[in-house]
């Protein structure tokens, strides 16, 4: 009648005492490490994508000034709204400068006020740096580092020469 159960060979499904611990410890170490790597990957992707969009916005603004000779207040506000979709940008985080080309070399040190009309051949510089530190930087430094050089901000710069002629 039926099979006789052996008592001498241990069942493969029943763990011995101590085996629980030997499997739990690797899980405790490995799973958080894998999770950390995945988080880093996700935050790096987020940083890279946002950085590209912000550079695109800097270049688009430079193209507008190159072709039209002016960055209007409306256009500047639109730029700020778009930038704030990706990170925090206040007025002091966006630096606009104008200048000239002398013997082909850029001399751009004067601040540019939105709405000012530039002449053909003038130089226009736009530089922006986010107010907040990127999430990727926070993961890398386990927060905002006291040493600001280690913090990674969103930055973009574009320099162009005005082609617009009155």
Partner 1 sequence: MKVIFTGISVMLVLILVFVNIADYALYSSKRNLIARGIDHSVCAAIQEMDLSLSKIGLSEGFDPETGRILVNDIRLDEETAENAFFSTLTANAGLSRNDVGSNTLIAYVWPTAAGISYLIKKGSTRHEGFVSSPDKLEEAINNAISILWDTNNSQSDSHLIYVNGNPSTNEFKRTPYFLVFVKDYQIDGLFRKRTATFVGFAGAKLERRR
Site residues (CB under 8 A) for partner 1?
23, 26-27, 29-31, 33-34, 37-38, 40-41, 44-45, 48, 51-52, 55, 59, 62, 66, 101, 103-106, 120-121, 123, 125, 157-161, 163, 165
Shortest distance, position 106 Cβ to partner 1, whole Å: 5
Beta carbon nearer to partner 1, 40 or 78: 40
- Residue 94 · residue 128 · CB < 8 Å: yes
Shortest distance, position 17 Cβ to partner 1, whole Å: 18
Shortest distance, position 119 Cβ to partner 1, whole Å: 11
Residue 16 makes CB contacts below 8 A (sequence gap 6+) with 10
Shortest distance, position 41 Cβ to partner 1, whole Å: 5
- Residue 85 · residue 138 · CB < 8 Å: no
- Residue 64 · residue 71 · CB < 8 Å: yes
Beta carbon nearer to partner 1, 5 or 104: 104
Beta carbon nearer to partner 1, 30 or 113: 30
Beta carbon nearer to partner 1, 6 or 104: 104
- Residue 148 · residue 129 · CB < 8 Å: no
d(CA 104, CA 97): 17
The residues pairing with 97 across neighbouring beta strands, listed in sequence order, are 111, 125
Shortest distance, position 125 Cβ to partner 1, whole Å: 7
Beta carbon nearer to partner 1, 75 or 101: 101
- Residue 89 · residue 58 · CB < 8 Å: no
d(CA 10, CA 16): 9
């Amino acid at each position: 009648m039926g099979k006789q159960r052996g008592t001498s060979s241990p069942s493969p499904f029943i763990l011995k005492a101590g085996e629980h611990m030997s499997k739990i410890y690797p899980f405790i170490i490995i799973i958080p490490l894998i999770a950390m790597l995945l988080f880093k990957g996700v935050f790096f992707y987020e940083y890279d994508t946002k950085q590209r969009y912000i550079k695109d916005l800097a270049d688009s603004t430079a193209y507008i000034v190159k072709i039209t000779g002016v960055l209007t207040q409306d256009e500047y506000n639109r730029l700020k709204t778009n930038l704030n979709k990706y990170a925090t940008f206040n007025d002091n985080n966006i630096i606009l400068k104008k200048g000239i080309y002398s013997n082909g070399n850029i001399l751009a040190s004067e601040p540019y006020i939105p709405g000012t009309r530039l002449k053909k051949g003038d130089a226009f510089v736009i530089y922006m740096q986010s107010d907040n530190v990127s999430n990727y930087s926070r993961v890398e430094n386990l927060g905002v580092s006291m040493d600001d050089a280690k913090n990674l901000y969103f930055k973009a710069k574009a320099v162009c020469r005005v082609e617009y002629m009155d």
